[in-house]
Amino acid sequence: MATRSHLLALTMGEPGGIGMDITLAAWTIRNPDEPFVFIGNADGLKARAHQLGIDAPVTRVKNPQDAALVFRHGLPVLDIKLPAPAPAGKLVPQNAGAVIHAIKTAVELTTSGQTQALVTNPVHKKNLYDSGFKFPGHTEYLASLAASGGRTPKPVMMLACPALRVVPVTVHIALAQVAPALTRELITATAKIASHDLETRFGIKNPRLAIAGLNPHAGEGGGMGHEEQGIIAPAIADLRAAGIDAFGPLPPDTMFHEQARKTYDAALCMYHDQALIPLKTLDFHHGVNVTLGLPFLRTSPDHGTALDLAGTGRANPASLIAAMDMARQGGA
């Protein structure tokens, strides 16, 4: 019987993207003792396997327990019907509802203990927006599904690879909006969630958090900006008073080289590209998007739907495989 320590729930993502390609590739190099169940369209997965010439027997199952039993010899699928065919490389707006339904189903399986953690294939955000999806992305939707007692948890995005973990304080907002959005409270709340989950989910005792400045040279003592003195440094003081090993603010241009990375377990960055550029430069193919702060663990490949690669056989499954490995590590 499947338990939290064995089975992962894997969503299909955008059906016209590379989610099916990399799922099939991951199954072909599977460890039979580390099963996953694909939550998506079985017929579409079969068609993509045929298109790619991959011998992966797609097997419909009725529940996660059956998925664990068939995984060794077949790719188990909890089938979700698509309103319209989804050819590789094509966006079909009618299928957006099925994409959302797959995510919701995976969350229900994970919160009920039938699966260990949730791994999401990439979605095409505009396709979802055009269908009326009201959330900026996966992360916010997952937080809404985790709401309980009228309270919605604060999700925190962490990007990770073997060489680096980064946590952006602000995420999908314009650069001009970053400084107005930064507050002492936002930085401390984000850091506390990161520290808590790094310790409880990933076994890092007393995590060390390096806190980046916002401005060049971390503000140069106020000569290049005042956010470090007025917002970031007070937040660090609050964190240290709470017993968290946080230090900074550090000049962002000197905190990501090899020697500097040895001094911390995660870097808290002030905006999206400050975090993602160093990580993707260090290890583009093995980056993992991790959602912290929720009652369940969610990971995802750190790339998009890559419509131009879908069905070509050129999609690299490395990030999905890394996401599965991290989900097993943090979801146990």
- The 8-class DSSP code of residue 203 comes to -
What pLDDT is attached to residue 160? 96
Q: 231 and 212 in contact (C-beta within 8 Å)?
A: no
What pLDDT is attached to residue 66? 93
pLDDT single digits (tens) 73-99: 999 999 999 999 999 999 999 999 999
- The 8-class DSSP code of residue 151 comes to B
Bridge pairing between strands 208-212 and 245-250: parallel
**SS3 label, residue 155:** coil
pTM, entire model: 0.90
Fold: same for 8-153+295-331 and 163-280: yes
What pLDDT is attached to residue 4? 44
Q: What is the CA radius of gyration of the chain?
A: 20
Tokens encoding 43: 């017929």
pLDDT single digits (tens) 187-210: 999 999 999 999 999 999 999 999
Q: 92 and 85 in contact (C-beta within 8 Å)?
A: yes
163-280: CATH topology is: Isopropylmalate Dehydrogenase (3.40.718)
Specify the amino acid at residue 12.
M
8-153+295-331: CATH topology is: Isopropylmalate Dehydrogenase (3.40.718)
Domain ranges of the chain: 8-153+295-331, 163-280
pLDDT in tens, the chain (332 residues): 334 448 999 999 999 999 999 999 999 999 989 999 999 999 999 999 999 999 999 999 999 989 989 999 999 999 999 999 999 999 999 999 999 999 999 999 999 999 999 999 999 988 899 888 888 888 889 999 998 888 899 999 999 999 999 999 999 889 999 999 999 999 999 999 999 999 999 999 999 999 999 999 998 888 888 999 999 999 999 999 999 999 999 999 999 999 999 999 999 999 999 999 999 999 988 999 999 999 999 999 989 999 999 999 999 999 999 999 999 988 66
Residue 180, sorted as left (phi over 0), alpha (psi -120 to 50) or beta, turns out to be alpha
d(CA 126, CA 306): 14
Distance from first CA to last CA of the chain, Å, rounded?
16
DSSP assignment of 27-48 equals HHT--TTS-EEEEE-HHHHHHH
